[in-house]
Chain A
Amino acid sequence: MPSKPKTAGGSDSRFFTTQKKGETHELRTDLHSNDRSTKVDAVKKVIASMTVGKDVSMLFTDVLNCIQTDNIELKKLVYLYLINYAKSQPELTLLAVNTFVKDANDPNPLIRALAVRTMGCIRVEKITEYLCEPLSRSLRDEDPYVRKTAAVCVAKLYDIAPDLVEDRGFLEILHDLISDANPSVVANGVAALSEIAETSGKDVMKISTSVLQKLLAALNECTEWGQVFILDSLSKYTPADGREAEGIIERVTPRLQHANSAVVMSAVKVILNYMNMITTEDTLRTLTRKLAPPLVTLLNSEPETQYVALRNINLIVQKRPQILENAIHFFFCKYNDPIYVKMEKLEVIIKLVGERNVEQVLLELKEYATEVDVDFVRKSVSSIGRCAIKLEKAAERCISVLLELIQSKVNYVVQEAVVVIKDIFRRYPNKYESVIATLCENLETLDEPEAKASMIWIIGEYAERIDNADELLETFLETFEEEDPSVQLQLLTATVKCFLKAPEETQEMVQRVLDMATEESDNPDLRDRGFVYWRLLSTDPEAAKAVVLSEKPVIEDDTSKLEPELLDTLISQIATLSSIYHKPPEVFVTRANIRTVTEDDVDDYEYEDENDVGVQPSADGPVDLLDIGGGGDMNGSAPQQNNGGGDVDLFGLDTGGGAPAARPTCVKTQVCDGSQSGGIIINCGFMQTNGSVSMELDLQNNGQIPVTTLAIQLNKSAFGLAPTNQQLVFSPPIAPGASGSYSVGLTVTPNMMSPVAPGSAAPPTVQAAIKNLSNNSVFYFAANFTLESIFSPDGALDRTAFINTWKGIDDTKEVYSTVQLTTSSIEAIIQKFASASIFQIARRPVPNQPGQEVVYFSCKTMTQHSFLAELTFKEGVMACKICVKSEATAYAALAKEALERCAK
């Protein structure tokens, strides 16, 4: 064995012996010893104590003393000690600052770098006085090891004193490092710049043509970690056109053959993002073909890497299904895959399944359904159901597989199968009732609420085709009181359906159920629903039939159900944690400046599993199972005291329970249709009153539980909006079936501004995440912002300034439109504009065009974008031409639309 006995012999573990009294003294003596190996041992002992959490700060100066040595081993040990203290006790470490400054000039590059690295770890303002000089020297050091350490140190310094970094020109030096001859220096330069760009929101990593070339050149030379940093920077760049995109892709493609999965993933990200720019069919086909093998190869790596790959592939197949359309068999589970890999493979399989391969997939799923892991088996069974829902032609085959599995009598298999068969019925009504008989044979196996509720729904729905439907329900009714509320609600509805279909036999039963629901239960939902039915049945059985037995909306294939906008966001986040959680980064990347809600609120933000919504309506609460068609507003909250007036009143009362109606100036559009949000329908608009901006929400609660408190978060947008208060408290709560509104105060802050890519228009949407704190469900919507809501009252310009600005803006930056008006009075328009903070500057007749007049306006947003407008009117015509000029070209179109709206 090649190891030489250590100078002091033995193992480091002996340093862990307990520290007795007097030992500190002993150590101190040793630290001052003249013998080098005694000193080395003593420092090691101190470090050992430190790593097990003992306080050895009283020896600080003694250890520090040892740094004055030519022995590198000893010096490194002291630095090891210092770098730990730098973090926890910066004030103490500051004592050593003179040594650092001195060491930063040491002839040995290792020591120079150590000094700079350690200084950067001392996170106190005061260090900056000492750090700048050595840092700027190190950034130009002849040794690459020192330069690369200095590059990281710039990022460290930026965290303490951003202004200083900018003033001293460190960012420019970092930029220069991108073309450094040494790959590690390049990697750290890019990494540091990218982090500064991300944390500051400033475009310090701006990629110009020359930077682009440098990055592409460095890509071939860089370390694997550096390649990841460079590829990630490239993915944020928007190529000028398809040609440039193709050119970059060509340079990136060889990275797909790297053994490091991170390099492959980041290369895939760049290519996917740039593919949007490419229009040539041939190129797209070639790229599609090239991407498949490396993605499949990732499935042969360690399970952890496979997991990451699978979560990403899940997104990729939703965006570009062609890439892996022929690769489904690679996703079949191996028996020794860890469960988290198996689960993700199932998700991908279900996304790739099509008519061509469904037979093969069903064979696999059937096998999986006999494995030992309960969660996996359940998901396999429900996947069979999802196949049926996705592929009409295969539905029959899927059902026969499910029936076969039910024969196994394995408790959880049967229950899961019943739940998915209910979904299949909802997808293909009146088509597969023949299987009901088999299901009915397994009633006694059902002990989970969801399965029971599903079975009861089936019985109620198909009561006329089940000979003994009433008897079956009767068996469930025996235990009515002990059942889960979702089962009780289902039983109630099913019994009523049964009664409406065969009143003679079930009169007594329905009476009993209604009694239990309205008198014995203390569950308000159950009581309410009971009362609704009771009144419906007693006043107008025909109406009851129309309501309860109405046609149900067919549920849809859910396999690629991510909202397109969210999907695009996530695709741009491939190869980041975002793509693992399937959430945009703002939701989980916690930054001090956007956190006002309690930590738990944000941390618990979880996307509803995009895959479950829809297939399992019960996830949204039992409301879907009630199934009285689209008339969700009929479900809820009949006040118990209301004992007359018939059903008209009953339903009339449901509305208008909420807050006063919104002010008429705000136009709202539906942004959330309730399908993803547990039945909460939201209309949203924006306005400004007395200088404060707000987001106006109208909520219609078609869910099952009252809306009491919501938490809202806005994504970064082109308008820099953030809610002043993230908690929306509804008092009184919006009862199920009722509606209400809320005005969310907004502030405009640069922190929430997402930069608009040069050359493109600012996206008009504001994305919001809402968490319902009653059930912790989270949903998302995007609303179109109205720019006039942030027009600032100080947007007026004086005439000269206006003329100068107008002339200074190139004509190519103009946008025009013609807008129909409701008036031909120019004064009325000026008035309307004035109230919207759009200020008149001048008005004059058009020379040589009798009857035409132009009016000039100016306005400015709270985000400091100015717009100049020219409106041309023709006498007697109820229309005008609008021309908007602005240096903020990205926003010009939005400003023009704002003017159009204000003019109407």
Chain B
Amino acid sequence: MASLSSFFVLSPRGDTIIKKEYRFSFGGTEKDLKSSVEMFFRKVKFWDTSKDGGWDGPDEAKPDQDEANDSHDAPKVDAPPVFLLDGESFLHIKRSGLIFGCSTRYNVSPSQTLELLAKIAKIFKDYCGTLSEEAIRKNFILLYELLDEMLDYGYPQVTSTEQLKMFVYNEPIITAPLVSEKQKGGNGKTASASSVHKPVSVGGVASGKSGKNEIFVDILERLNVLFSANGYVLNSSIDGCIQMKSYLSGNPELRLALNEDLVVGKGNGQGYGAVVLDDLNFHDCVNLSEFDGSRTLSFYAPDGEFVLLNYRIASEFRVPFKMMPAIEMVTPTKLEIMLTVRNEIPAENYGANVVCRVPLPRATATVFCEMVGGGAGVEQAAEHLASERVVEWKVKKFAGASELSLKIKLSLDSPSTLQTRKEIGPISLGFEIPMFNVSNLQVRYLRIAETSPSPFRWVRYVTQSSSYVCRM
């Protein structure tokens, strides 16, 4: 165990925006950080599986294959987050298009290093309000000041937003959030805690009167569901978390209560209808002394965004959307795909920004899409993206307890074979359901001690698709 040699932030084009060196290379061969970062960026940008053997061991052992692999012009591939380059290990993560990376010559804990990078990115975001190249460039002195407190000699130090406030004197310069991020938030109701673009207030002296006294709580569930071609659920799981963003003044103790009948761990399940979590874990700040008895967590919320707890559910649950595809061969060169999607959540809820993608066979010549049902109230559109060979069907607002269908008529260059039909699918569905969660995990209450005036509490439930796929 030892520490990092350098830390850096790169723009999407590979420019170094922030860099900091902690250790020097030894043995007299002092390498320029700049050139090794450039080398790193090239590696990440043009990761080549056939040569670097990132996951398949060294290809040196089978040089014969190189030529063959070159002949497939492989699509661009994500580089693994950890690799060895010229005697140094490089670890990196990507956030908002930026690369947060570091190098080390020691046998460090990679999880620790990656968590640290994520934490630095989070702190940067907390202090700048948004994470973008512009925001970082404008606030670089503040960020260097923060970095000096977060890393000493390459060891992680203080990484909590509110503790850092005591040591930091520069103030943030606000930049407008990226347009894309704004759009991602969709309509006002679905905006998650993380879409609040407001830097935490800074300055040991300056704090106090700044900003509103409020706290955001998101119960966020991401669904992984795999359907078979006939609509059965093959595999499903929920990745859930309770995410918070605190702008509370003072530092009051918070008490958050979950369902009383919450059960942790399979096999411990008693009581029908109880919420059964397969596993859960907690943020550092949580005091669990009352958790076993009353399912209540007490904690002092760190400033800025943080994940209070993560949970995982692997048992079956009622899926919000069902997909029912059917393929019909009209003539050997004409296929018809009929896709019905049913929204099974209660009628008062709805799915927002539902995007359905249907991959088409290579032999596709022309495509005609027809949306069935829905009526005038439904804002929807289907488009054939020829370059990606998919049909993308978007429904802005998909009402609960309703059903929509899409008919895709294909004509093919060559007669349909078994293989042609195999190339259709898997069909993926992306969506977000505001104010709804599948697991039924609830926040019974959130109490804030010493409250006058009472702060605003924004509790929101959001369900999102993670990998929501139907095989054909």
Contacts of A528 in B (CB 8 A): none
B-side contacts of A775, CB under 8 Å: 60-61, 63
Q: Give chain A's interface secondary structure class.
A: helix
- Chain B residues, Cβ within 8 Å of A262: 109, 111-115
Determine, out of A23-31, A169-177, A369-377, A513-521, the stretch whose residues face the partner at the interface: A369-377
Q: Mark B200-224, 1 if CB is under 8 A from A, else 0.
A: 0100001000110000000000001
Binding-face segment, B185-193, B279-287, B334-342, B439-447: B279-287
Within the complex, what minimum Cβ distance (angstroms) separates A329 from chain B? Answer: 6
A609 lies within 8 A of B282 (CB):
no
Size band of the B side of the interface? Answer: 35 or more
B24 in contact with A87 (CB, 8 Å): yes
Q: How many A-B residue pairs have CB under 8 A?
A: 309
Q: Is the CB of A2 within 8 A of B201?
A: yes
A861 close to B (CB within 8 Å):
no
Q: Provide the residues of chain B in CB contact with A589, threshold 8 Å.
A: 105-107
> Is B54 close to A, CB under 8 A?
yes
A2 touching B210 by the CB < 8 A rule?
A: yes
Instruction: Decide if B62 is an interface residue (CB 8 Å cutoff).
Output: yes
Question: Do residues B58 and A606 form an inter-chain contact, with CB atoms below 8 A?
Answer: yes
Question: Contact mask B134-154 → A, CB, 8 Å, 1/0?
Answer: 000111110011001000110
Contacts known (A12-B138, A608-B61); A232 close to B1, Cβ less than 8 A: yes
Q: B198 at the A/B interface (Cβ < 8 Å)?
A: yes
What residues of chain B lie closer than 8 Å to A343, measured between beta carbons?
55-56
B271 CB-CB contact with A under 8 Å:
no
Q: A80-B145, A155-B153, A223-B284 given as contacts; is B1 within 8 A of A304 (CB)?
A: no
Find chain B residues with CB under 8 A from A332 CB. 226, 235
A588 interface residue per 8 A CB criterion: yes
Task: Report the minimal beta-carbon distance from A676 to chain B, rounded to whole angstroms.
Answer: 11
Q: In the assembled complex, how far is the CB of residue A570 from the closest CB belonging to chain B, in whole angstroms? A: 12
Give the docked Cα–Cα distance between A3 and B393 (Å): 42
- How far is B307's CA from A710's CA once the two chains are assembled, in angstroms? 52
- For the complex, give the distance between the alpha carbons of A90 and B350 in Å: 63
Task: Give A189-209 as 1s and 0s: 1 = Cβ < 8 Å from B's Cβ atoms.
Answer: 001001100110000000000
Q: Is B114's CB under 8 angstroms from A599's CB?
A: no
Chain B residues near A11 (CB-CB < 8 A): 138, 173
What A residues does B104 contact at CB under 8 A? 577
| Bound-complex Cα distance A2 to B197 (A) | 11
Among B2, B64, B140, B469, max chain A CB count under 10 A is at B64
Interface-side segment among B321-329, B415-423, B456-464: B415-423
On whether the beta carbons of B110 and A3 are closer than 8 Å, the reply is: no
Stretch of A130-138, A446-454, A816-824 that contacts chain B = A446-454
Minimal beta-carbon separation of A192 from chain B (angstroms): 8
Whether A375 contacts B138 by the Cβ 8 Å rule is no
Among A156, A304, A588, the residue within 8 A (CB) of B93 is A304
Q: Are A575 and B111 in contact (CB under 8 A)?
A: yes
Question: Which of B82-90, B250-258, B377-385, B401-409 forms contacts with chain A?
Answer: B82-90
- The answer to whether B107 and A578 have CB atoms under 8 Å apart is yes
A334–B236 alpha-carbon span in the complex (Å): 11
Please tell me if the beta carbons of A149 and B466 are within 8 angstroms of each other in the complex. no
B194 within 8 A of A: no
Which one, B72-80, B292-300, B365-373, is touching chain A? B72-80
Contact A266 B109 (CB under 8 A): yes
Find residues 573-589 in chain A having any chain B CB closer than 8 Å to their own CB: 573, 575-581, 585, 588-589
With contacts A195-B1, A407-B419, A612-B56 taken as known, whether A261 is within 8 angstroms of B111 at the C-beta atoms is yes
B211 to A2, Cβ gap below 8 A? yes
Residues of B within 8 A of A223 (CB): 159, 284
Determine if A339 and B68 form an interchain contact, defined as CB atoms under 8 angstroms apart: no
> What 1/0 flags go to B117-145 for Cβ under 8 Å of A?
01000000000000000000111110011
Is A663 part of the contact surface with B, judged by Cβ < 8 Å? no
Nearest chain B residue, comparing its CB with the CB of A223: B284
Known: A340-B80, A370-B422, A608-B58. A120 touches B309 (CB 8 A): no
Partner of B110, one of A6, A576, A585: A576
Encoded as 1 (CB less than 8 Å from any A CB) or 0, chain B from 151 to 177 comes to 011011111000000010111111000
State the CA gap A330–B152 with chains docked (Å).
Answer: 38
**B26 interface hit (Cβ, 8 Å):** yes
| Residues in A221-238 with C-beta less than 8 Å from chain B | 223-225, 228-229, 232-233
Which residues of chain B are within 8 angstroms of A607 by Cβ–Cβ distance?
A: 57-58
* B82 and chain A: residue at smallest CB distance: A580
Please determine whether A117 and B145 come into contact, CB atoms closer than 8 angstroms. Answer: no
Q: Is the CB of A373 within 8 A of B89?
A: no
Separation of A47 and B112 alpha carbons in the complex (Å) = 30
**Choice from B1, B27, B54, B226 contacting A595 with Cβ under 8 Å:** B27
Expressed in whole angstroms, the minimum distance between the Cβ of A316 and any Cβ of chain B is: 14
Taking the complex as formed, is A58 at the interface, i.e. its CB lies under 8 A from any CB of chain B? no
Q: Any chain B CB within 8 A of the CB of A635? A: no
Q: In the complex the two chains form, what is the Cα distance from A388 to B145 in whole Å?
A: 58
B82 near A80: Cβ-Cβ < 8 Å: no
Q: Which of A233, A266, A330, A580 has the most CB of B within 10 A?
A: A580
How many Å lie between the Cα of A312 and that of B148 in the bound state? 32
Known contacts A195-B1, A258-B282, A296-B312; A450/B62 CB under 8 A: yes
* Contact flags B226-253 to A (C-beta < 8 A → 1, else 0): 1000000001010100000000000000
* Chain B neighbourhood of A576, CB < 8 A: 1, 107-110
Known: A83-B148, A87-B21. A609 touches B57 (CB 8 A): yes
State in angstroms the CA–CA spacing of A628 and B204 once bound together.
79
Residues of A within 8 A of B106 (CB): 198, 577, 589
B window 1-45: CB within 8 A of A: 1-3, 21, 24, 26-27, 29
Q: How far is the CA of A382 from the CA of B138 in the complex (A)?
A: 51
Known: A577-B89, A609-B56. A334 touches B171 (CB 8 A): no
Residues of B near A300 (CB, < 8 A) are 237, 239, 310, 312
Question: Across the interface, which residues of A come within 8 angstroms of B108, CB to CB?
Answer: 576-577
- Indicate if the CB atoms of B54 and A340 lie closer than 8 Å: yes
- Residues of A contacting B89 in the complex (Cβ-Cβ under 8 angstroms): 577, 588
Q: Is B281 a contact of A259 with CB atoms below 8 Å?
A: yes
Complex CA gap A610/B282 in Å reads 36
Which residues of B have CB within 8 Å of A379? 56
Please give, as numbers and ranges, the residues of chain B lying within 8 Å of A4 by CB-CB distance: 171, 206, 210
Does any Cβ of B come within 8 Å of A152's Cβ?
yes
Per the bound structure, the CA–CA distance linking A205 and B148 in Å amounts to: 27
State which of A72, A73, A449, A581 has its C-beta within 8 Å of the C-beta of B65: A449
Q: A149-B152, A305-B115, A447-B68 are in contact. Are A339 and B78 (CB under 8 A)?
A: yes
Residues of A within 8 A of B314 (CB): 296, 330
Per-residue contact bits, chain A 290-333, to B (CB 8 Å; 1 contact, 0 not): 00011011001011110111000000000000000000011010
Q: Please name 27 pairs of A and B residues whose Cβ atoms are closer than 8 Å in the assembled complex, sorted by A.
A: A1-B198, A2-B201, A3-B172, A12-B173, A87-B21, A149-B152, A225-B112, A259-B281, A259-B284, A266-B111, A266-B112, A308-B82, A334-B466, A335-B428, A337-B467, A340-B78, A370-B422, A408-B422, A573-B107, A577-B107, A585-B107, A588-B87, A590-B87, A599-B86, A607-B58, A612-B61, A777-B60
Closest 9 CB pairs between A and B?
A: A609-B57, A334-B467, A262-B112, A304-B81, A606-B58, A293-B279, A262-B111, A2-B210, A776-B60
| Interface of A toward B, CB cutoff 8 Å | 1-4, 6, 11-13, 44, 47-48, 51, 72-73, 76-77, 80, 83, 87, 110, 117, 120-121, 123, 148-149, 152, 155-156, 184, 188, 191, 194-195, 198-199, 223-225, 228-229, 232-233, 256-262, 264-266, 293-294, 296-297, 300, 302-305, 307-309, 329-330, 332, 334-340, 343-344, 347, 367, 370, 372-375, 379, 407-410, 412, 447-450, 484-486, 573, 575-581, 585, 588-592, 595, 599, 602-604, 606-612, 616, 618-620, 678, 775-778
Please name 18 further chain A to chain B contacts, defined as beta carbons within 8 Å, in addition to the given A304-B82, A408-B422, A580-B82, sorted by A numbering: A12-B173, A121-B153, A152-B153, A184-B158, A225-B159, A228-B112, A233-B1, A257-B280, A262-B113, A304-B81, A304-B93, A307-B80, A336-B467, A340-B81, A588-B107, A590-B27, A609-B56, A776-B60
